[in-house]
Amino acid sequence: LCIASAESLAAIKFRVPARFRNRGPRERRVISLRAAAAQAPATMKLRVLALHSFRTSGSIFCDQLEALGNWPNAIGDLCEFVYVDAPHPASGEVPEDVASFFQGPYFEWWNATSFGIEGKEGKVLQYEGLERSLEFVEEVWRTKGPFDGIVGFSQGATFTGLLAATGKVEGRGPFVPRDAGDPGAFAIFISGMQARTEEAKRLYTEASGEMGMDIATLHIVGETDRAIPPAMSDRASQMFVEERRAVIRHGRGHVVPRLDGDNLKSVRSWLQEQLNAKGRYRAGGTTAAL
């Protein structure tokens, strides 16, 4: 189920992947989010907000999960994905491996810049546009939900970690601490890492404490990822409480991996746990099984 934001929140629609755009009206439709909700099946599914990578888009992430990763076919009975474009158009050159395979427009959650004197102490890294992106996701979560969790790839995964820490420390956004028994929002990280700013490091330290952030997380790590090496993804995973943390590895690089074999079984099992926890809570039970 591919849903993406258009130019504004009010225009969120089903977005047709690029390879389907030339097909006839019987083969594709564009319908509003409200109409889609009315047609939702009676069986309970997890609704997952999908955050794309650096200088790509919701539509591209939809293609990566669907055409390349086989995710909707493999786990579509357990969850559906809602894709949004970051609020900032790409502020610089689009990576060649993106531009050569996917059409724009392209977006980013922030642009990493630094200021100060080169080679001198005090040169500071900053993420331009981060605060606006935080506000944007808060608005999507509030006005286009309910959602059960977030999946992010690359910059989207790093952003998901920042959202988690911000919820814990500042009490805002999707990961605000919940009442006892409420499993809260979960997070799926594909090729994630910790943000590199000094502000983010302080935020992580405060949010993690001694035990880690109490959020159900799934970390998908590429063993040959050169953009975000496995050690960086592993370090990011350790910010979260061990009892609710799962790590899955695949043999490829910086990609959304295809779900098959043992990894498919593991992902399905993890999603089923989240679905069961949501069901118990809604029925008035607890999440003790997690």
The 10s digit of each residue's pLDDT in 185-226 is: 999 999 999 999 999 999 999 999 989 999 999 999 999 999
Tens-place pLDDT, residues 28-60: 222 233 333 333 334 689 999 999 999 999 999
**pLDDT at residue 124, rounded to an integer:** 85
- pTM to 2 decimal places: 0.83
Task: Tell me if 171 sits within 8 A of 139, measured CB to CB.
Answer: no
Q: How confident is the model at residue 120 (pLDDT cuts 50, 70, 90)?
A: low
What pLDDT is recorded for position 286?
54
Percent of the chain surpassing pLDDT 90: 72
Q: Pick the range with the lowest mean pLDDT from 119-128, 169-178, 256-265.
A: 119-128
Residue 284 has pLDDT above 60, yes or no: yes
pLDDT of amino acid 118 = 53
Per-residue model confidence (pLDDT) at position 115? 74
- pLDDT-derived band at 123, boundaries 50, 70, 90: confident
Phi, psi of 247 (to 5 degrees): -125, 130
- Predicted local distance difference test score (pLDDT) of residue 24: 38
| Mean pLDDT for the stretch of residues 126-151 | 97
pLDDT, tens digit, 9 for 90 and up, residues 61-81: 999 998 889 999 999 999 999
Q: Look at residue 263 in the predicted model and tell me its pLDDT.
A: 95
Average pLDDT in the 172-185 region?
91
What's the pLDDT score for residue 10?
46
In three state form, how does the secondary structure of the chain look? CEEECCCCHHHCEECCCHHHCCCCCCCCCCCEHHHHHHCCCCCCCEEEEEECCCCECHHHHHHHHHHHCCHHHHHCCCEEEEEECCCEECCCCCCHHHHCCCCCCCEECCEEEEECCCCCCCCEEEEECHHHHHHHHHHHHHHCCCCCEEEEECHHHHHHHHHHHHHHHHCCCCCCCCCCCCCCCEEEEECCCCCCCHHHHHHHHHHHCCCCECCCEEEEEECCCCCCCHHHHHHHHCCECHHHEEEEEECCCCCCCCCCHHHHHHHHHHHHHHHHHHHHHHCCCCCCCC
Question: What is the rounded average pLDDT of the residues 171-177?
Answer: 95
Mean pLDDT of the chain: 85
| pLDDT of 138 over the 90 cut | yes
Band of residue 180 on the pLDDT scale cut at 50, 70, 90: confident
**What is the model's pLDDT at position 67?**
85
The pLDDT value given to residue 4: 45
Question: What value does the mean pLDDT take over residues 262-286?
Answer: 90
